[in-house]
Amino acid sequence: MDLTKADADAVKARHNDAAGRMEKLRGRNLSLDMTRGKPSPEQLNLSDDLLIAVQPGETDGEDGTDLRNYGGLAGIPEARRLFAEFLGTVPERIIVGGNSSLSMMWDVLSNAMSFGMPDGEGPWRDQGAKFICPVPGYDRHFAICERLGIEMITVEMTPDGPDMDTVRALVADDASVKGIWCVPKYSNPSGETYSDETVQALATMPTAASDFRIMWDNAYAVHHLGDGPASLSDIMKACEAAGHPNRAIVLGSTSKMTHAGAGVAMLASSPDNIKDHLDKIAYAMIGPDKVNQLRHVRFFKNMDGILAHMKKHAEIIAPKFAAVEEALEKNLGGSGLATWTKPDGGYFVSVDVLDGCASKVIARCADAGVKITPAGATYPYGKDPFDKNIRIAPTLPGIDEIKVAMTVLTAAIEEVCTQKLLDT
Ligand code: PLP
């Protein structure tokens, strides 16, 4: 029954029922955590052969370099070759770094704030830099901007990616709008993959800033849940064809492919941007962990190896996403109290409840021992203007825990949202 259209008695009955269930669930003293998109131990186990992939006496690279030593700032040739194919580019246009793409993003933007970017007019911090942030989005992208003093402008996501009419208008006349965050495939948290038209529009749109940058965080490039892969146009090629070769900075990592804390991260871009980035990071390090890069090359072998490995991840996590979907549909389907995404890949399910209810729902869950990502986390400055978005991260907990956590979450949504209907 659509409760938003039902009479007060029906809403009251559902509210009382949900409140009763919540009361019982609180009595169970649960302690469950659905907050962060981390791989489960079972997923991490899939890559444990990494730990034996390089043995004593096997630490020379293909060109004879002793990889235990300093140097090789751009990464080892065999890793640049493999991950260039992974990100759809050529080895000269990729830097393979340490274990975190997030830290590469931080490096790009903090250096841009201090020293500027190719094609630009000096440090961004002297120009009142602003960034476009599609919402809901990845909290750590927003945290980077907040920390660096880059003003964030929100733009709504659509099923095709960010609302491009708004983006075009924002970048057209204001030279202080320096860039946009994009998670183009299986977006965090709402799961969309950008359409070809969106990619084309991002590449071709005129921007007042001569050093406008697209931070193309392809964190979920091969993270299909079902039949996949969703197809995504090549942003670097599109930018180059449009006469903006330096516009796109593409990022990726193996964090959710191998060991999240001991993977390999990469940045791909134009020759100018690659040179600029290497010049900048040379002050912060002599070279990345090349032995770990070698481990990854030996472990995956080639792109087919990567895809076969990701199938094993999907086999583990797809049933968890199915359990989330089943609970949402069973308890909230047709109720009008919430809508949610059914992603084909990535790490999250995004739930929108009635306006003004998300923080109360999350507080009710916390009372019952279930931790959910704080309301507002998917918005700049932690403020969801409608207080409606809830991000669910189903990969880490076991399936039985997910089922219990979803019983709590859906009962809390029913309780809080029906209360809102009764109050208005
Ligand atoms: N980018 C996105 C969109 C993510 O969701 C995450 C992790 O959740 C990261 C980057 C972090 O990547 P890394 O581990 O390579 O720093």
Interatomic CA distance for residues 416 and 345, integer angstroms:
30
- State the CB neighbour count (10 A cutoff) for residue 383: 11
- Mean pLDDT over each residue of the chain, to the nearest integer: 97
Query: What is the chain's length?
Result: 424
Which atom of ligand 1 is closest in space to residue 37's alpha carbon? 8
**Beta-bridge mates of residue 181:** 215
Sorted by sequence, the CB contacts under 8 Å of residue 306 that are 6+ apart come out as: 86, 222, 257, 300
Atom of ligand 1 nearest to the CA of 102: 16
Mapped onto helix, strand or coil, the DSSP state of residue 340 is strand
pLDDT value of position 270 = 98
Q: For residues 90-112, give the mean pLDDT.
A: 98
The CATH T-level fold of domain 61-301 is Aspartate Aminotransferase; domain 2 (3.40.640)
Token pair in block for residue 76: 């080892």
- Is the pLDDT assigned to residue 357 strictly greater than 90? yes
**Looking at the predicted structure, is the pLDDT value of residue 118 above 90?**
yes
SS (H, E, C) 70-134: CCCCCCCHHHHHHHHHHHCCCHHHEEECCCCHHHHHHHHHHHHHHHCCCCCCCCHHHHCCEEEEE
- CA of residue 142 to ligand 1 center, whole Å: 12
What are the sequence ranges of the domains in the chain?
A: 3-44+307-423, 61-301
Q: Whose CA is nearest to atom 7 of ligand 1?
A: 37
Long-range contacts of 101-105 (CB under 8 A, 24+ apart): 101/217, 101/219, 101/251, 101/252, 101/253, 101/255, 101/265, 101/266, 101/267, 102/140, 102/144, 103/265, 104/251, 104/265, 104/266, 104/267, 105/141, 105/144, 105/215, 105/217, 105/251
Ligand 1 pocket test, pick from 38, 141, 217 with the greatest ligand atom count within 8 Å of Cβ, gives: 217
Query: Ligand 1 pocket: which of 140, 186, 391 to mutate (most atoms <8 Å of CB)?
Result: 140
| Distance between CA atoms of residues 289 and 75, nearest Å | 9
The residue whose CA is least distant from atom 5 of ligand 1 is 188
Candidate of 99, 188, 190 to mutate for ligand 1, largest count of ligand atoms within 8 Å of Cβ: 188
What's the CA-to-centroid distance between 23 and ligand 1, angstroms? 37
Specify the pLDDT at position 308.
96
Residue to mutate, 99, 102, 108, ligand 1, most ligand atoms under 8 Å from C-beta: 102
- What whole-number distance in Å separates Cα of residue 142 and Cα of residue 253? 19
Pocket residues for ligand 1 (CB within 6 Å)? 37, 100-102, 138, 183, 188, 217, 219, 253, 255, 265
Counting from 1 in the atom list of ligand 1, the atom nearest the Cα of 260 is 14
Q: Whose Cα sits closest to atom 8 in ligand 1? A: 37
Taking the whole predicted model, whether its pTM rises above 0.95 is answered as yes
Distance 105 CA to ligand 1 centre (A): 10
Between the CA of 260 and the centroid of ligand 1 the distance, in Å, is: 9
pLDDT over threshold 90, residue 54: yes
> What are the pLDDT digits (tens) for 298-346?
999 999 999 999 999 999 999 999 999 999 999 999 999 999 999 999 9
> How many angstroms is it from 6 CA to the middle of ligand 1?
42
Residue 346: partners with Cβ closer than 8 Å, 6 or more residues away:
185, 186, 187, 188, 191, 220, 223, 225
Gap from CA of 102 to ligand 1 centroid (Å): 6
Contacts of 319 (CB under 8 A, 6+ apart): 399
**Closest of 243, 307, 230 to residue 270, by C-alpha:** 243
CA of 183, closest atom in ligand 1: 3
Q: Enumerate residues 6+ apart whose C-beta is below 8 A from 327.
A: 403, 406, 407, 409, 410
Contact criterion met (CB below 8 Å) for 374 and 42: no
DSSP single-letter state for residue 214: E
Give the nearest ligand 1 atom to 101 CA: 15
Residue nearest to atom 4 of ligand 1 (CA): 219
Distance 253 CA to ligand 1 centre (A): 8
Give the Cα separation of 394 and 380 in Å (integer). 23
Ligand 1 atom 6 nearest Cα = 219
Using one digit for the tens of pLDDT, what is the confidence trace for 17-43? 999 999 999 999 999 999 889 999 999
Q: What is the CATH number of domain 3-44+307-423?
A: 3.90.1150.10
Q: Give the nearest ligand 1 atom to 252 CA.
A: 15
Mutate which of 35, 101, 133, 259 for ligand 1? The one with the most ligand atoms within 8 Å of its CB, which is 101
- Tens digits of residue pLDDT in 197-248: 999 999 999 999 999 999 999 999 999 997 767 899 999 999 999 999 999 9
Residue nearest to atom 11 of ligand 1 (CA): 102
Q: How confident is the model at residue 383 (pLDDT cuts 50, 70, 90)?
A: very high
The CA angle 400-405-408, to the nearest 5 degrees, is 135
Question: Which protein residue's CA is at the shortest distance from atom 1 of ligand 1?
Answer: 219
Compute, in angstroms, the gap from residue 224 CA to the centroid of ligand 1: 16
